[in-house]
Amino acid sequence: MANRPRLQADTATRRKPPARKPSAGAKPHRSVIPAEEASRPDRRAEILRSAEILVAQHGYHAVSVRDIAAHAGVPFALVGYYFGKKNELLKTMFEHRKPYITERMTRMREVDTSRDNPQAVEDIVRAWAEPVVALRADEDGESFSVLVARTMWEPGEEASAIQQEYYDPLATLFIDVMCKALPGTKRDTVVWGYEFALGALLMLVADRRVERLSKHGATWGDPKQCERLIRFLTEGFLSMAKK
């Protein structure tokens, strides 16, 4: 009994100190890169490409980091080294494709929305839609186009964060310039028009059902349908503005 206080004291001295909380400005944790991979910068692109393909096919929550590593043929730790956590990898996928969003916004800002331009509505729709169809027509952009559609349709904090950061500014700009091109039209009317247009655009670039419904007479993602889509959406906005 006399030794108990000392035993308790010895036990206390062996206790681990409490873990330090990371500071607000701390950088995200990155795994240690294997030495044999240090000279393989192409691995980063392989991981990003595999992530696009798998998440587009199965959805964000159905794909694990191990799945992505296996598809890319890289060690599991390498994904963490380059991208950190899974949600950081998702964000990097969209950051990597941000130039096509910037192009759309730049083109929309350049549209003459004055009464002197009777083609203003069509010009806005064209500036907004053409880069998306062009990206889908590129072999490297097919999976990303489907990924965008999934991100718009699937619920979840991760998808919502991507929408707000990358696509809400684009949507707001579209609505702003379309309101200028259609003076007197209520903003909520233009917002609904945008939602209708977005659905049509996403179905063009990401939906395979058109092949089944057409008995394989049509091809999903067909870039030749872009002009039809632009005319269709232009007339839709003009019709809504008359009501």
> Would you say residue 3 lies in a domain?
no
Average pLDDT over residues 218-236: 95
The count of structural domains within the chain is 2
Query: Domain range for residue 61?
Result: 29-85
Output the six-digit token pair for 72. 């890319």
* Encoded tokens for 171: 């949507």
Do residues 55 and 147 lie in contact, with contact meaning Cβ atoms separated by under 8 Å? Answer: yes
Same domain flag for 116 and 201: yes
Q: Are residues 113 and 67 in the same domain?
A: no
Position 176 in a domain: yes
108 in the same domain as 67: no
Question: Do 122 and 189 share a structural domain?
Answer: yes
Q: Last residue of some domain: 85, 109, 133? A: 85
Query: What's 77's domain CATH number?
Result: 1.10.10.60
* In a domain? residue 53: yes
CA–CA distance, 17 with 128 (Å, rounded to integer): 56
From 46, 65, 85, the end of a domain falls on 85
Q: Has residue 33 got a pLDDT over 90?
A: no
- 158 vs 51: CA distance, rounded Å: 15
Query: Residues 111, 180: contact at Cβ < 8 Å?
Result: no
Instruction: Report the pLDDT value the prediction gives residue 12, as an integer from 0 to 100.
Output: 45
> Per-residue confidence at 36, pLDDT binned at 50, 70, 90?
low
Is residue 148 over pLDDT 70?
yes
| CB-based contact 229:200 (threshold 8 Å) | yes
65 and 122 housed in the same domain: no
Which domain CATH number covers 114?
A: 1.10.357.10
In a domain, 16, yes or no: no
Alpha helices by DSSP H, the chain: 4-14, 42-58, 65-72, 76-83, 86-96, 98-109, 120-137, 142-153, 157-162, 168-181, 187-206, 209-213, 226-242
**How far is CA 140 from each of CA 97, 148, 164, rounded to the nearest angstrom?**
11, 14, 25
Residues 56 and 129 occupy one common structural domain: no
Alpha-carbon separation of residue 32 from 25, 38, 67 (angstroms): 20, 10, 19
Alpha-carbon span 161 to 6, nearest angstrom: 54
CB 151 within 8 A of CB 142: no
Same domain, 223 and 107: yes
Tokens 């993602």 map to which residue? Answer: 221
Q: Say if residue 77 is in the same domain as residue 186.
A: no
pLDDT over 90, % of the chain: 77
> Do 175 and 236 have their domain in common?
yes
Shared-domain flag, residues 103 and 58 = no
Reported pTM: 0.82
Same domain, yes or no, for 173 and 202? yes
- Please check whether residues 115 and 234 belong to one and the same domain: yes
Counting residues of the chain whose pLDDT is more than 70, the rounded percentage is 83
The type of residue at 60 is: Y
2, part of any domain: no
| Tens of pLDDT, residues 152-193 | 988 789 999 999 999 999 999 999 999 999 999 999 999 999
pLDDT above 80 for 142: yes
| Average pLDDT over every residue of 116-134 | 97
**Is residue 8 one of the residues assigned to a domain?**
no
